Amino acid sequence: MKAALIDPSYGLQVLEVPKPEPREGEVLVRMKCCGICGTDVEKVHGEGITTRILGHEEVGEVEQLGSGVRGISAGERVFAHHHVGCGECALCGAGKSTLCREYSRHNLVPCGLAEFFIVPRYNVDRGAVLRLPDSLGYEEASFIEPLACCILGLEQAGARTASSAMVYGAGPVGLTHLKLLRSYGVKTVGISDVSEYRVALAKRMGADVTFNPTIEGDRERALASFEEGPELVVLATGSSAALEDGLKTIARGGTVLLFGAPRKDAVARLEMARFFLNGTRLVTSYAASERETSAALALLAEHRIEVADMITHRFPLERTADAFAVASQQQCMKALVTN
* Coil/strand/helix, residue 304: coil
**Residue 330 pLDDT exceeds 90:** no
Strand residues in the chain grouped as ranges (E): 2-7, 11-16, 27-35, 57-65, 77-80, 116-119, 129-131, 164-168, 188-192, 209-211, 232-235, 255-258, 281-284, 311-316, 334-338
Q: Note whether 2-145+288-338 and 158-284 share their fold.
A: no
**Eight-class DSSP state of 101:** T
pLDDT in tens, 41-76: 989 888 778 888 999 999 999 999 999 999 999 999
CA distance 195 to 215: 11
**Residue 9 pLDDT exceeds 80:** no
Strand order in the sheet with 188-192: 209-211, 188-192, 164-168, 232-235, 255-258, 281-284
CB 307 within 8 A of CB 143: yes
Question: Which CATH architecture does the domain made up of 2-145+288-338 adopt?
Answer: Alpha-Beta Complex (3.90)
pLDDT in tens, 127-161: 999 999 999 999 999 999 999 999 999 999 999 99
* Domain 158-284 fold: Rossmann fold (3.40.50)
CB 223 within 8 A of CB 229: yes
Q: What's residue 50's pLDDT?
A: 80
**Residue 263 pLDDT exceeds 90:** no
Q: 310: Cβ–Cβ under 8 A, 6 or more apart, which residues?
A: 143, 172, 175, 176, 201, 333, 334
Closest CA to 169 of 95, 276, 116, 246: 246
Residue 219: CB atoms within 10 Å: 16
Residue 180: CB atoms within 10 Å: 24
- Evaluate if pTM is beyond 0.85: yes
Mean pLDDT confidence for 284-308:
97
User: What angle do the packed helices 290-301 and 144-156 form, to 10 degrees?
Assistant: 110
Q: What's residue 80's pLDDT?
A: 98
pLDDT in tens, 158-182: 999 999 999 999 999 999 999 999 9
Q: What's residue 11's pLDDT?
A: 85
* Coil/strand/helix, residue 318: helix
Average pLDDT of the chain to the nearest whole number: 96
- Domain extent listing, the chain: 2-145+288-338, 158-284
Q: How far is CA 127 from CA 30, 58, 81, 101, 291, in A?
A: 19, 16, 9, 18, 10
- Residue 3 binned pLDDT confidence (cut-offs 50, 70, 90): very high
CA distance 57 to 36: 7
| H/E run at residue 293 | helix 290-301
Mean pLDDT confidence for 243-258:
97
Q: What percent of the chain has pLDDT over 70?
A: 100
